A and B are shown apart, each in its own frame.
Chain A
Amino acid sequence: MSALIETRDLWHVYSDGTVSLRGVNFKAMRGEVTVLLGPNGAGKTTLLLHLNGLLKPTRGEVLFEGKPVSYDKRNLTELRRRVGFIFQNADDQIVAPTVWQEVAFGPKNLGLSDAEVAERVREALNWVGLEGFEERLCNMLSIGERQKLAIAGVLAMHPDVILMDEPTASLDNFGLNSVLNVVRRLKAEGKTLIISTHDIDFAFRVADKFVVLHNGKIVHNGSHLPLETARKFGLRMFDALWKR
């Protein structure tokens, strides 16, 4: 089985000289949930930004369906149509004043007709449980509702791959379960998911594959994650339960 999206010898150096990724060889298989783990600053978000074409590699390449990504406008548009990115902070993702406009934004940019856009918006809002919210102002939504809106905004584009950057950060247990349901439903629909988190509990409940990043390198890659490896690389664990 070949990878749907992958990187080869990926390096990224920010303009201030910070080396964020050091020769990362990453693969995500079609239909799988790949969880990126690692402490803060490990390079998880940087890697995700490369997979959607929002960052260009300093060295190395990103491949989608076996073909290297080229950074001209047409190819980037096609990549971003197939690979959706849900930001860590929903506020960073919301660009429109009202809920309807926010969800319609992506489909509109794909050149769909007004009728198709309206249908996709209706579908996406129903999917996340925000039907009836169409005319609400985005800044009047709660954090959980904004999170759902961010998901709906990406789902409306019908991507094949969904990148989620720390989707459980700042959520309570109800929010966490809501995200779990979303991930499971998306997987059941055949989507490929790549999720970054440092929440082991969440990772264990959704992952088909664990990839651990540390200092810009992959230090573990497999379908199992030994707890000692997790502890060694600073991942948040249910220590309270362990100590009992």
Chain B
Amino acid sequence: MPYYRSHVLVCADPECISRGALALEDALQDELVAQGLIDEVQVLETSRLGGCSSGPEIMVYPEGVHYSGLTEDDIPFLVEEHFLKGRIVERFRVPVKSDADEELGPPKPKEVRVVLRNCGKIDPENIEDYIAEDGYMALAKVLTEMTPEQVIDEVTRSGLRGRGGAGFPAGRKWQLCRQVPDFPKFLICNADEGDPGAFMNRRVLEGDPHSVIEGMIIAAYAIGASQGYIYCRAEYPVAVRTLRIAIQQARRLGLLGENILNSGFSFDLEVRMGAGAFVCGEETALIASIEGRRGEPRPRPPFPAVKGVWSKPTNNNNVETYANVPQIILKGADWFASMGTEKSKGTKTFAVAGDVNNTGLIEVPLGITLREIIYEVGGGIKDNKGFKAVQIGGPMGGCLTAEHLDAQVDYESLTSLGAMMGSGGLVVMDEDTCMVDIARYFMDFTQDESCGKCTPCRVGTRRLLDILLRICGGEGRDGDIELLETLCEEIRQTSLCGLGQGAPNPVISTLQHFRHEYEAHIYEKRCPAKVCRALIQYRISKDICTGCTVCARNCPANAISGERRSPHTIDPSLCVRCGICAQVCNFNAIEIVSEGIRAAVN
């Protein structure tokens, strides 16, 4: 049997053939014969090497080199260089299309990819790729073998809880909507992923839109809905585009529209775009937005399951909730329930951002500990700094500290610790983070996004923000902490919707775990983490400074003075704390200090 030391795969897709692939292949064979290499190098035809619009494409193994755009005239040179001299010809080389993309990468230890299983592996703009991965098999099973009640039963038994943050059992929600005797019924997918730091839904919508669509069709069948909307935020234009293409392709194959798969069940889907309002992630505000109104929430009851879009029964679930459904149907409720903890079944995607080495998306079984997420999956804190806190649940979540690192991540545990699962955004903060600044930061966000309808939120968050700004600005007063606590409790109890009810959470949880930082800011006018501009100073070390004048020349406020070759000084009354001097100093002579007032006020 001939032993080949090298294989050359020539892409013979129609596009490549139209660009001369076969002639190239012949030229290659001829040259290999002429060079006496034909017994060592085998030429094969293949398909889908990718990038066929710039073809012909060839792939050479064992090196795994992808060459593109060759002509017959290039062949002698290629054969001589690559096969005789063993040198890769860089100018024809293109990067190999990798299997997993940069954002996701291959699964990290402890990851179990259920919702993310296809992302980066299939072409989201090709429904056949999805079908090849058992796509729409669940729908076929549902429409031909199961009644709506059986579908609801299966989903209920699986223990799937809403992945948008509240964790309400999905099966029960569907049942509630199903039993309302009113038609038509609607289905909504909440794709308004507005939590800063959360981009899991984006990835699924961009990488595997059909998993969501299939889940929605199954849900619609279960509750008896005839029309669905995917409400996607406008900041995700790629996701919107991918969804629209996917819906079109599904319609063309008869998977959406009238009489799906000849079952008698009809359902159609539409994408609705948001317009930049975080509050529209709240379901009643979302419904208002679909109806063409301001995204202002309304009181519940009545819940959307009873009166939703245009006052008709509506089921609303998160992207990730729907994306789990096809696999629950195919693999069974028991399979899903085998992962996770007793009350929190299945897996959850998380977006890890902040001061960790591996930021990005992960999907892990519920019940994993924070320590495992941050250190094993997240690769630990960047620059080997100390871990300070992790914010979970977005701007309405809370922060957890080092003492909670071994807490299990599931719905109940997090709530009992004063945090919230939320949609899955995790922001990790290292020792150089000021927690008062973080509270101010989140409050700034929620204040801006408050819809303004109810006084506790509209006015309350403004007052909270004002107090926090004063504290960070060095004007904190005795009594501020108590005032914050009282306000937080009032706002939480009396706000109309989840935004207002949750807005005080970052303040409450940072006060709970980092009260000493607040006290330092207020009573000592000191920022322990050296972040708050009004409380820090940039100082040049006299021992290290060489007087090179680089900092003085770069200071935008002309705050640095000194003779050449003599240590320089910064005038704190002129300094704007921009940090440029510390950046340009070649000797690391400039440090940030926060000493506060020496006489502590009690």
Whether A associates with B in a native complex is no
- Could you list which residues of chain A lie within 8 angstroms of chain B, going by C-beta atoms? none
